[in-house]
Amino acid sequence: MGIFLVFFPEKQHQQHYILKRTNSSHIFTKTQSTISVCILLIFLTLLLFTLSSFEPNDVVSSHRRFLSQNTPNIKPPNSPALQGLGTLYVRGTSVKDGLVICHVISSVTTDELKLFVRTFLRSGLPSKSDLVFVFNSISTIDSFDYVIREEIDTFLKLIIQYRENLGNGSQIVDFFSGFDPTRFVKPGQDSDRGEPIWGKRVKTETNNNNNNSSFGDVASELTRLSYGSVVGFGIWELDPENSLSGFLDWVPMGLRRWACYPMILGRVKRKFKRVMLVDAKEVLLLGDPLGRIKSHSAESVIFSSTMEQKHGRKVNKLNKSHRKVIDPTLILGRERGVRRLSAAMLTEIVRSTTRQHHKRNSLTESALLSQLASNEFLQKSIKFITTESIPDPSQLSRVELANMTVVRSGNSNLDIGLVIMKHICSFPIESSVYTEC
């Protein structure tokens, strides 16, 4: 008995037709999606082109005026100081040959730093040098940022007032001034001295006035402003590895700052001839102490000395243990000498911590610097010069204080800030600029 298999070609054709229709539908859907995407891209392109054709200057300027009127203390955007690091507070008018590096520890108060910046700006140093702050923590940067900018703005307003008077034909002898404004108001162009190394290079004709545009018109050729840059760095930017942490349980700012100096001085090598290292809490700069180093060799370093103290009291001069020690709050030197000193100081910190393991957390800057200054081998590469101690303002008359270049700031017996402000406010132009007068 046989079995017959019957095939139905109509059904097979129907299945083929359904498959073909499905494929056609898929292709159509894909084509439709592609066309939709293209239309969307064209629409977005036209939209962006249309939006870019509007001029938003009026809206932006109105918005900025609203912000400036209602939030006067708003923090301006920070510009990096050097190779993407730090903060540029003000870019100087030209390159300077002096560099002041000031370390700011966490215990420095707002009033202390404000007074330091104010006296520095009036000292004449900004006409010859740049100022670099090294901050101990992010909190110190945030709390002092506005103070530094405010003092710079106030000082530039003061200089511009003097410039306007000098531009009107007045002479410096006509002014009753607390300092010499002609240091900051120079005749002729200053561009031949080159641009400062800090901040982004600006290739414009008004480059030298890009930081004080809000204080008046561009200076004329006869009365051109001249001042240095002010910048700041966090200590973690200059010493990211905290290189001394493996040798000390806790690294104080006074020791860690020596790990920052090689990076700063290495990046600005041969840019500055004279360098000053100063403590913002302990010292006020009323004049230009960098002048002391002019006549010395490139390897010279100048220390201030202080009496060795015992139990908080000065040792009697008749006592055999009486001797002078190095004061770390102010150090002057030629660029090469300070670079060599910073390298030697790092080596001495490491050597002392490994040799005196049980006493390593009691190391002091004074003791370490005194050891270096008495090292005969190191004296062949660094010329150490020791001068008198920094004077205490409470022991000076008002006339003597006015003629000082450096004084100590930390003294509970005298409000040095009040004394200095009385002196500043006694001059007509100054009293019209400083809000405390």
Integer Cα distance of 78 and 128 in angstroms: 24
pLDDT at 97 (0 to 100)? 92
Report yes or no on 61 lying in a domain: no
Residue 74 three-state SS: coil
pLDDT at residue 213 in the model: 36
Q: Say if residue 421 is exposed, middle or buried (CB neighbours under 10 Å; 0-12, 13-18, 19+).
A: middle
Bridge-based pairing of strands 129-135 and 230-234 is: parallel
CB atoms within 10 A of CB 124: 21
Residue 65 domain-assigned (yes or no): no
pLDDT at 239: 92
Is 179 within a domain?
yes
Domain-located, residue 133: yes
Closest of 244, 197, 221, 240 to residue 92, by C-alpha: 197
The single-letter DSSP state of residue 228 is -
Q: Determine, yes or no, domain membership for 332.
A: yes
Residues of the chain with pLDDT under 50: 1-23, 49, 51-75, 204-222, 310-321
Q: What is the dihedral of CA 334, 241, 279, 340, to 10 degrees?
A: -20
Q: Quick check: is 153 in a domain?
A: yes
**Does residue 281 sit within a domain?**
yes
pLDDT of the residue at 96: 93
The domain tally of the chain equals 1
In 105-244, the DSSP E strands lie at 129-135, 185-186, 224-225, 230-234
Q: Would you state the pLDDT for residue 167?
A: 62
What is the DSSP track for 362-405?
Answer: G--HHHHHHHHHT-TTGGGTSEEEEEPPPPPGGGS-HHHHHT-S
Write out the residue range of the structural domain in which residue 375 sits.
87-433
Please tell me the predicted confidence (pLDDT) of residue 215: 33
Q: Using CA atoms, how far apart are residues 225 and 182, in angstroms rounded to an integer?
A: 9
Q: Is residue 150 part of a domain?
A: yes
Q: Which CATH number fits the domain that encloses residue 265?
A: 3.90.550.10
> Within 10 A of 431 (CB to CB), how many other CB atoms are there?
12
- The model's pLDDT over 143-177, given as tens digits with 9 standing for 90+, comes to 899 999 999 999 999 998 888 876 665 555 555 66
